Amino acid sequence: MDSRISARALAAALGGWRSSEPVYEALADAIRLLCLDNRLPAHTALPAERELAAALDLSRTTVAAAYRSLRDTSHIRSVRGSGSVTLPLARRDPGTRRAMADAIDLQQASPPAWPGLAGVFGEVATRAASLVARSGYDVVGQRALREAVAERYRERGIPTDADEVLITSGAQSAIHLIASVMLGRADRVLIETPTYPHAADAFRQAGGRLVAVPVTTEEGWDLDRAEQAFARTLPVLAYLMPVFQNPTGRTMTPHEADVVARAAERAGTVLVIDETTGELAIDGGGAEAFADHDDVIRLGSLGKTVWGGLRVGWVRGPREVLQRLAAARPVHDLGTAEFEQAVALALLPRMTEIIAQRAGHLRTGRDALVTALARTLPSWTVPTVEGGLSLWVELDAPLSSPLVIAARARGLYLSAGARFAVEGGHDRHLRLPFTAPADELVRAVDVLADVWPGVLAAAPLSRLERLDALV
């Protein structure tokens, strides 16, 4: 059955969509962006033309032209008498009407593979005979790999044994598994905003109702809101990224972690701590969050530290929780690939070397990006981050969505700030990953500097004032 989005909800999701294009095409591009960001999933029924026209204060003719443009690019399907429904994205779809050989894709905050990875693949391949002799089905994970992961926790001062570790096919797989096992329909999930959007999507898909707690680059976590949310809504789970939070790059102070932990304990909430970016320190920084709380669920992976294509992650948690996850896992998958587990086992003893290389790569990208922004867009507010993968940049107008649309026409692919919101907003922010090569990041900023004046000029003053009131 198709889900539906109301005209009012779609109007709110569009944010500041107007640009220098004809109005109907600007509206079509804004809806395309929602599809690309998965804020409008496939098979979502769109509002009727008349309803959306009223919500946006446009003529029905303009909305009809926008829907026609979306049909022409295969983003929606319309059936007379049944309305319009979004379609799954085609693999060719980069979000623009023309492909560009020199396109810069910063939608994913993911660094290139660690340079030594191919060599490790080769080493593991020489042991292929022993790997294929195994059954290939293991919902818990190889004992040796679980022990190696446990040892890394012990090195951090978190006592752990192999039975407190479950190997998964990446951290995202772990989030989906936790959500499906631990959430019932309409259970509350406390989550940061902005946040990692795929986690929010997973909790929603499992039926969770998200309760947002703000986190900012300057002030950190809103502790008053957090304590109130725990006490008022009694969430079943709380999903947090306390070290180099995605997308803000902020790290919890010990005081913040202590307040959150005590509030969660009073509410009976299970803390799910995503540590996938926690080792990506550049200038030191970072912290050991919730180290004294043995009952939290911790998520880790090699996706950000080694390579996004190496789908190996893990859950560290109480044995009874892992037993429930393992029992439910066959519904999702039958275990992590044996070859990839063997690669992970070979990589873990080299993590000090790997993380040092990562720090150098990320430092180069971050410094190039910060310098370019200061030179070409001095009116934007650029945070100081000591690690992580991205900058959560504050624009001088709440026009993140039309800026992303304008940049796409120049071959620069980004995700709008609203993609990281839980309850709307963040149109004044833009996530800029610094994982790409430095020269690409400088070119990306040049594109943003070129298109930003046009985006500002195309936004009616009344529209900016209304958006500012929501930010």
pLDDT of residue 39: 83
> For 208-229, how does the pLDDT look when each residue is reduced to its tens digit (9 = 90+)?
999 999 999 999 999 999 999 9
pLDDT beyond 50 at 98:
no
> For 147-189, how does the pLDDT look when each residue is reduced to its tens digit (9 = 90+)?
999 999 999 999 999 999 999 999 999 999 999 999 999 999 9
> For 226-247, how does the pLDDT look when each residue is reduced to its tens digit (9 = 90+)?
999 999 999 999 999 999 999 9
Q: Assign 286 a pLDDT band (cuts: 50, 70, 90).
A: low
Residue with the larger pLDDT of the pair 132 and 438: 438
Mean pLDDT of 265-287: 91
Q: What separation, in Å, do the N-terminal and C-terminal C-alpha atoms of the chain show?
A: 34
Q: Assign 45 a pLDDT band (cuts: 50, 70, 90).
A: very high
| All domains in the chain, ordered by first residue | 3-86 (1.10.10.10), 104-114+353-470 (3.90.1150.10), 117-349 (3.40.640.10)
Handedness of CA 90, 94, 95, 97 (dihedral sign): negative
Mean pLDDT of 74-79: 90
pLDDT beyond 80 at 91:
no
pLDDT of residue 113: 96
Average model confidence (pLDDT) for the chain? 91
pLDDT beyond 70 at 467:
no
> For 350-409, how does the pLDDT look when each residue is reduced to its tens digit (9 = 90+)?
999 999 999 999 999 999 999 999 999 999 999 999 999 999 999 999 999 889 989 988
Strands (E) across 205-362 are located at 209-216, 220-221, 237-240, 270-274, 297-301, 313-316
pLDDT beyond 50 at 469:
no
Q: Which residues contact 194 (CB under 8 A, 6 or more apart)?
A: 215, 247, 248, 392, 417, 420, 421, 422, 426, 429, 431
* pTM score, whole prediction: 0.86
Phi, psi angle pair for 166, to nearest 5°: -125, 125
pLDDT of residue 138: 87
pLDDT of residue 414: 95
Q: Strand 3-4 relative to strand 44-45: parallel, antiparallel, unpaired?
A: parallel
Mean pLDDT of 306-315: 96
Q: Which helix (H) or strand (E) holds 223?
A: helix 223-233
